Amino acid sequence: MSTRQRRAIVHHLIRCCILGAFGFYIVFLVRTGSLAGYVEPNLAAAVKLSAIGLFATAIYQLHAALSEWQGYSPEACDCNHEPSPSFAANLIIYGLFALPIVLGFAM
């Protein structure tokens, strides 16, 4: 397995975790009854449906990671782009998405 494949797998898994965490956070807010404190009550149904979309996208990212692990690379379709090779840039980008989730669950 090449370094590029390992990096792609790690990026797909990080994205899967972040998307799944957003979905679980929405479910958590619905279960605790505090969703109305974050969104307009008229939009509550749309936010609940968005959790399904987040879970579906997380499953797709998991599938992409497993496909990459098995050796299938979607380079032929040119439907993916390479993440930044910089660790600091990736940390900042993923941190921007992970920070609200961490703060939401912490409070």
Residues 50-83: tens digit of each pLDDT: 999 999 999 999 998 998 888 776 555 556 667 7
- The domain total for the chain is 1
Confidence check: pLDDT of 6 > 70: yes
Instruction: Look up the domain containing 24 and give its range.
Output: 3-106
Q: Considering only residues 107 and 38, tell me which one the structure prediction assigns the higher pLDDT.
A: 38
In angstroms, the Cα distances linking 70 to 17, 19, 52, 97 are: 20, 23, 27, 28
Q: What is the pLDDT of residues 8-43, one digit of tens each?
A: 899 999 999 999 999 999 999 999 999 999 999 999
